[in-house]
Amino acid sequence: MSEEFNLIDRYFLPLCQPLFEGEVGIGDDGAVVTPLAGHQLVVVTDTLVKGVHFPNETCAYDIAWKALAVNLSDLAAMGAIPAFYTLALTLPENEPAWLSDFAQGLKDLGQRYQVALIGGDTTRGPLTITVTAHGWVPKEKAVLRSGAQSDDLICVSGTLGNAGLGLKLALKRLSESEQAWLTEEMATSCLQALNHPQPQLDLGLALRGVASAAIDVSDGLLADLGHILEQSSKGALSALGAEIYLDALPLSNALRRWVSNKRDWSLPLAAGDDYQLCFTLSEEVWEGLQQQAAKLGVEVHAIGRVTGENGIKIKQNMRSEGSVDEAWCHALNAGYQHF
């Protein structure tokens, strides 16, 4: 166990700054933090397992970045101000170079959003990383999954499917001809989307009091939108559904090429790991939110509409009659196989 203390002191103690007066960080049985007056505490937790949530070859810096980013993304989806986190790190061995890179990944992302490491546990075993992140939200102002209403617009930030294509690249699952569709720049940006997701924390704050529901796109657009519809249906008179318009889906250049060549929309519709926000809002507030997002430098797009009809219907565009041919979109029936 003294080894544990050395590890913590050397690599993780420097991440435990700054705390406020009267607070306690790493080095006691627990951390002590003063709540933000008038706010509620938001708690999120996500685990990454080697070979399940990231390819075996992923470098320590990227693993750490992602472990923290996916949690901050959950805070963003709640409209929370990120504050601090704990780290439970299970490691097969102590490699100083690996640990130093891992700590640097946490440090770089943590500094960007002013979130401090306040405590943790290091144990011996197969590489597994659990971060539990905490934020503050003004009392009863958290953005939930459960407020969507019929006729609300469905919107997303950024572009969709990049991390899914990045995963195919990382696992070397592209054929030569598929690879040829992508410039080096496109490939790099897809790998970046996979390994360095950017939690949409600023947008999350802008959604408070504006969005009727929000979720981060971790499992894939259809699955995550499904969670909003499920939670929101509980309070509705009848089950809610949605229409999604393919022409409106925001795609990067790489994804545009992929979709038009493959004639397959499963990456933007169902690949996970993009960590964009998917949210619903009433049409009246849409223009204001677009202006707000523009000020933040965040792209937002309306991609569909909540309906009073159960299920998610995929249309080519808003004016199309009926759903698109299912063959056009493998994701609808098969679901996307996560790594």
Query: Does residue 31 bind a copy of itself (CB under 8 A)?
Result: yes
Binding span for a copy of itself by CB under 8 A among 74-82, 98-106, 238-246, 279-287: 74-82
The answer to whether residue 27 forms part of the interface with a copy of itself (CB under 8 A) is: yes
Amino acid at 297: G
Binding test (CB under 8 A) with a copy of itself, winner from 18, 29, 175, 284: 29
End-to-end CA distance of the chain: 34
Q: Considering only the stretches 10-18, 70-78, 153-161, 323-331, report the one whose residues sit in contact with a copy of itself under the rule CB under 8 A.
A: 70-78
- At 252 the three-state DSSP class reads coil
74 versus 243: smaller Cβ distance to a copy of itself? 74
> Within 13 Å and on the Cβ side, how many CA atoms surround 188?
3
Q: Is 313 in the site for a copy of itself (CB under 8 A)?
A: no
- Residue from 8, 16, 44, 221 touching a copy of itself (CB under 8 A): that is 44
Sign of CA pseudo-dihedral 311, 315, 321, 325: negative
Cβ–Cβ under 8 Å, residues 102 and 60: yes
Report the DSSP pairing between strands 277-281 and 39-49: unpaired
Query: What residues contact residue 6 under an 8 Å CB cut-off, 6+ apart?
Result: none
Please give the C-alpha separations between residue 65 and each of 47, 124, 136, 209, in angstroms, as whole numbers. Answer: 13, 21, 21, 30
Cβ atoms of 114 and 120 within 8 Å: the answer is no
Instruction: Out of 15, 16, 78, 255, name the contact with a copy of itself by CB under 8 A.
Output: 78
Number of residues engaging a copy of itself in binding (CB under 8 A): 67
Contact call for residue 270 and a copy of itself (CB under 8 A)? no
DSSP secondary structure letter of residue 247? G
Binding string, 129-158, against a copy of itself, x = CB under 8 A?
A: -x-x-xx-x-xx-x-xxx------------
Among 105, 110, 119, 250, binds a copy of itself (CB under 8 A): 119
Segment interacting with a copy of itself (CB under 8 A) among 128-136, 160-168, 256-264, 291-299: 128-136
Work out how close the CB of 86 gets to a copy of itself at its nearest, in angstroms, rounded to a whole number: 4
Residue among 95, 96, 45 at smallest CA distance from 67: 45
**DSSP 8-class letter at 15:** G
Interface with a copy of itself includes 63 (CB under 8 A)? no
Judged by CB under 8 A, the residue of 67, 68, 80, 255 near a copy of itself is 80
Distance CA 334, CA 273 (A): 18
Binding to a copy of itself (CB under 8 A): which residues in 192-221? 214-216, 219
In terms of CB distance, is 143 or 259 closer to a copy of itself?
Answer: 143
Residue pointed to by tokens 């509620």: 40
Contacts of 91 by beta carbon, 8 Å cutoff, 6+ apart: 99, 122, 123, 124, 125, 127
170 touches a copy of itself by CB under 8 A = no
Binding site for a copy of itself (CB under 8 A): 1-2, 22-24, 27-35, 39-53, 74-75, 77-78, 80, 84, 86-88, 90, 118-121, 123-126, 128, 130, 132, 134-135, 137, 139-140, 142, 144-146, 214-216, 219, 223, 231, 272, 338
